[in-house]
Chain A
Amino acid sequence: MPTGLLNGGGSLNMKDMTATILKRIGHSVITLFVISILIFIGVEALPGDLAESILGQNALPETVEAFRKELKLDLPPHVRYISWLGDFVQGDMGRSLSNHRPITDLIGWRLSNTLFLAAVAAMVAVPLAIILGILTALYRNTLFDRIVSMVSLSAISFPEFFIAYILIALLSVKLSLFPSIATMDGQMSLMDKLYTIVLPCLTLTMVVLAHMMRQTRAAIINVLATPYIEMALLKGVSRLRVVVVHAFPNALSPVINVVALNMAYLVAGVVIVEVVFVYPGLGQLLVDSVAKRDLPVVQASGLIFASVYIGLNLIADLLSIASNPRLRNPR
């Protein structure tokens, strides 16, 4: 095969690569769209009239009628869906049923709080998980590996709130190091904020860390078992170089996949952790609204959670494509 052909093939496949990426992005957009329809229909499918079921059987007909107007229930469903989605995209999410405040106001700073907590937890958990995963893979079947494996197996078996309450019992009640309730307000400095969220963040980190570390370890062991790693050892390459130069570039793509997969635990964990620590976040709001059946708020926060989750997965997939040597350098 002459080089010219190779270069030609390369540029041709650059197009394929772009196509793959565009396809992946399109896929996410469609998924999000379908989910928004599902969320909307889900509320529609509620048995009986929404207004009546919320106001109760004894409500005056005029009240019900006014309420229906407020919810735009007098319009046909597809019109309502389009206006709902249109408003949503523009930042108008309607009003809460329970306290009639604009949902955007309710959600705004709670979303930023949740993202703050999740981001801090991810920043601690992801690098730590990858480092521990690599170390346990390298020193597999040693005492160190067995202990870490045992601890992480327990951690994935524990419910999030168990870890949270153990931490509270130890670090807050017994040692009085950190607050057991994470109250936030807008005036707090970054350091104060960080101090406040130490326990929720620690809980979240432990949950995500355990899952991520176990899967990273498996991914790295897979790479270490390949013939090209044996070849590198037989070429007299040092152990460190084998790991850094020969194993890591190939492990990158599976490890990114692992990180993406574990975003689900981060999202679920954040809801529980917020409830335990009474943290003013989106998860807390969602749980409260579900209990109160405040459907517009549930719809809005559900869609936000979905968008964030799908967005994170998209980014991870794109990174994974970009880090795969075969995909990056096509035939």
Chain B
Amino acid sequence: MSSLIKFIQKAPWSARIGIIILVMNIAVAAFAPVISPYGETEITGDVWEEMSLTHPLGTDHLGRDLLTRMIYGARNTIALALTITFLSFTLGTLGGFLAATLGGWCDTLLSRMVDLVLSFPTLIFALMVLSVAGTSILSLICVIAVLDATRVFRLARAVAMDIAVMDFVEAGRLRGEKTGWIILREILPNALPPLVAEFGLRFCFVFLFIACLSFLGLGIQPPTADWGSMVKENAGAITFGIFTPLWPAAAIALITVGVNLIVDWFLNLASGLKE
């Protein structure tokens, strides 16, 4: 724990801002029922009320408290994004490492499939699958996780390939070590730094992607609070000069900026670039 603090103390100011943003968001998400003034779907006022003491950020298109919706939105969106990122990461890393160490037909098959998915704009792909599978949370998770796993696969495979040709891996093979040892003990520890950075990037991507789909009305469905759909629902307000939709949009922007700042720091550390 103390080493973690020391590690963070060495971080540049930009990364520290990122860490603060991330910690705050996670805290808000974790304690949502405790800190939010009203219930998630409770109608407490008029449509699009201005900021006031009772409604610090005003109300939304149905007269619900915007701050409450924002807090619950953090909870729902972050939880969903994390789930999907973990899923896609496990899938992609496993596939990538297997392809790199086993090679042969396993590598060819997986790589071809991934190439095919990547030769198609992700958003269009997701839209088409959702049109067929319907817009449930489960299909949302599956579609984004699989699509995202293809990118993780590419990176994991490339990183593992780079390490797999190193002499120390060859020495392990010549010693007679099994594939499991080679992957877990020789390759994985060395692949970790770029993969950790990639996790952050993937999280951002997934987060934005969910927000996008929700904004298009194809992601998380009402009345569940979610930042992307909140922008969509309140979009009409902007033409009246009411900036309600900007709040959730800004929240999305803030958390992705925060994560990106941390990722940048990690990438710099991993590449040994000290400027």
Contacts and interface: CB of A to CB of B under 8 A. Distances in A.
Contacts of B115: 31
B99 interface: no
Given A271-B216, A310-B119, 11 more contacts: A38-B116, A153-B261, A157-B208, A169-B238, A173-B241, A268-B123, A268-B124, A268-B212, A287-B216, A287-B217, A290-B130
Contacts of A275: 215-216
Interface stretch (A119-127, A187-195, A298-306): A298-306
A174 B122 CA distance: 35
Contacts of A159: 208, 211-212, 215, 228, 249, 252-253, 256
Give the secondary structure class of A's interface.
helix
29 contacts: A42-B129, A46-B132, A153-B257, A153-B261, A157-B259, A158-B249, A158-B252, A158-B256, A158-B257, A159-B252, A160-B212, A161-B249, A162-B252, A165-B246, A168-B239, A174-B241, A267-B121, A268-B212, A271-B123, A272-B215, A287-B127, A287-B216, A287-B218, A290-B127, A290-B218, A295-B131, A309-B119, A309-B124, A310-B119
Interface in B234-253: 235, 238-239, 241, 243, 245-246, 249-250, 252-253
B218 A291 contact: yes
Nearest to A276: B235
Interface in A265-307: 267-268, 271-272, 275-276, 286-287, 289-291, 293, 295, 298-299, 302, 305-306
Interface of B: 115-116, 119-124, 127-132, 204, 208, 211-212, 215-218, 228, 231, 235, 238-239, 241, 243, 245-246, 249-250, 252-253, 256-257, 259-261, 264, 275
Interface of A: 31, 34-35, 38-39, 42-43, 45-46, 141, 153-154, 156-162, 165-166, 168-169, 173-174, 180, 264, 267-268, 271-272, 275-276, 286-287, 289-291, 293, 295, 298-299, 302, 305-306, 309-310, 313
A168 B245 CA distance: 12
A34 B259 CA distance: 37
Contact of B116 (A34, A165, A287, A302): A34
Contacts, number: 130
A141 B268 CA distance: 14
B131 A264 contact: no
B128 A302 contact: yes
Contacts of A166: 246
Nearest to B261: A153
A295 B132 contact: yes
A268 B121 contact: yes
A302 B243 CA distance: 34
A309 B145 CA distance: 22
Contacts of A35: 116, 119-120
Nearest to B216: A287
